[in-house]
Amino acid sequence: MNSFMKVLGITIVVMVLLLSLPTILPKKAPKELSDAMLRERALSTNMLPVPKTYEALLKVVDNPDNLMSKEKIALGKELFFDPLLSQDKDISCASCHKLKEGGDDNLPTAIGHQGQANPSHLNSPTLLNAALAKSQFWDGRAKDVEEQAGGPIQAPFEMHMTPQEVVARLNDHQAYPAKFKEVFDAQGVTFKQVRNAIGAYERTLLTRGAYDRFLEGDNDAISPQAKRGMTLFLTAGCKGCHTGMSVGGQSIQKFPLRSYFADYIGLLYSPDITLKESPFPFENVGGFLGRDDTLRFRVPVLRNVTKTAPYFHNGSVEKLEEAVRIMSKYQIGNEFTPKQIDDVVAFLKTLEGELVEYEIK
């Protein structure tokens, strides 16, 4: 038995070494791009700056099925911050989406009605720049922010309301019926109108920062380190998923894409070999496995990612540096060095931004 275990151990070590060759062999020197080349590389792949004006905003985010207007946006903003839409009148959309703190709640899992945690231990994705994404929620089940807006209101562990209860409360309100009539030109409030008003407001929640200024031609907007990180981001494979004006949110992708034999073995020389239980490179808190349990997730929006810790769907990773390392290893298949990770994080910091104060007409 001892000789068998020794042979087994040697075999495992050899396999681990073979599978680890990509990380052992010398890496190619990182590409170097001039400011102009770096900018063009981003712009050519639709990584565009956020618009500055309301007219330009409409061209990017307006919904033909829910046309934006000053009055509709104002109504949506009021509803977004109003706890009247929750069962105990103590939670609003803004409770889990703190717009001045990254657009999420910085908790590992969302907390809703009477202190209930999300049963799948899912945290709150940011709403900042969410209108630029092609789908909403971690599994991408909602097609747009209008559809998304109705989900948390109805979830029993979030705001715990039915559409009928929402409509009844708003119709009985002193001011809301007149506001809805002005915006939608119809008698009585409907739940679809509630979703559309909130969605119209959420379409204005776009941010701009140093990254946008660099894309628009200001070479001094970001540091040399951030430029190295941006170069790596664009050339190593990150932009394959994290693309578009939102730097993410454009597709549904499998995660993790790659697996490593070494992850599945605990003690190489022990008869009590421990196999990896989580399909993720972190603890599988909550048991959520993505869309239809296929490990497919909506790619997160990276704008303001430095403000939205903890990371991943169940908030299992506290540090952005660790999140970058995990993504480089398990999605790209080429684990970044500590220096490369620092460079990428420096670039991600340029994606921080302030809400654009659009002059809405």
Instruction: State pLDDT tens for residues 213-225.
Output: 999 999 999 999 9
Q: Does position 10 have pLDDT exceeding 90, yes or no?
A: no
Specify whether the CB–CB gap between 107 and 113 falls below 8 A: no
Widest pairwise Cα distance in the chain: 84
Specify whether the CB–CB gap between 113 and 165 falls below 8 A: no
Domain spanning 26-50+207-355 has what CATH number?
1.10.760.10
- Provide the 3-class DSSP secondary structure of residue 299: coil
**Statement: the pTM of the whole predicted model exceeds 0.95:** no
- The pLDDT of 230-237, averaged and rounded, is 97
Candidates 158, 335, 354, 359; catalytic one: 158
- Provide the 3-class DSSP secondary structure of residue 271: coil
CA-to-CA distance for 22 and 291, rounded, in angstroms? 31
State residue 16's pLDDT score.
46
Assigned superfamily of 54-202: Cytochrome c-like domain (1.10.760.10)
State residue 186's pLDDT score.
87
pLDDT digits (tens, 9 = 90+) for 137-153: 999 999 999 999 999 99
Name the amino acid, one letter, at 60: V
pLDDT band at 82 (very low <50, low <70, confident <90, very high): very high
Q: How many of the other CB atoms lie within 10 Å of CB of 98?
A: 16
The gap from C-alpha 235 to its chain's centroid, in whole angstroms, comes to 21
Q: Does position 14 have pLDDT exceeding 70, yes or no?
A: no
pLDDT digits (tens, 9 = 90+) for 40-55: 999 999 999 999 999 9
Q: Is 158 a catalytic residue?
A: yes
* Domain locations along the chain: 26-50+207-355, 54-202
pLDDT digits (tens, 9 = 90+) for 271-297: 555 557 899 999 999 999 999 999 999
Chain-wide mean pLDDT for the chain? 91
Residue 232's closest CA among 346, 353, 352? 346
- Provide the 3-class DSSP secondary structure of residue 208: strand
pLDDT digits (tens, 9 = 90+) for 329-347: 999 999 999 999 999 999 9
State residue 28's pLDDT score.
57
State residue 265's pLDDT score.
64
> Same topology for domains 26-50+207-355 and 54-202, yes or no?
yes
State residue 275's pLDDT score.
53
Q: How many of the other CB atoms lie within 10 Å of CB of 233?
A: 23
- The pLDDT of 256-261, averaged and rounded, is 91
- The pLDDT of 105-112, averaged and rounded, is 95
Q: Does position 251 have pLDDT exceeding 50, yes or no?
A: yes
State residue 277's pLDDT score.
81
pLDDT digits (tens, 9 = 90+) for 298-317: 999 999 999 999 999 999 99
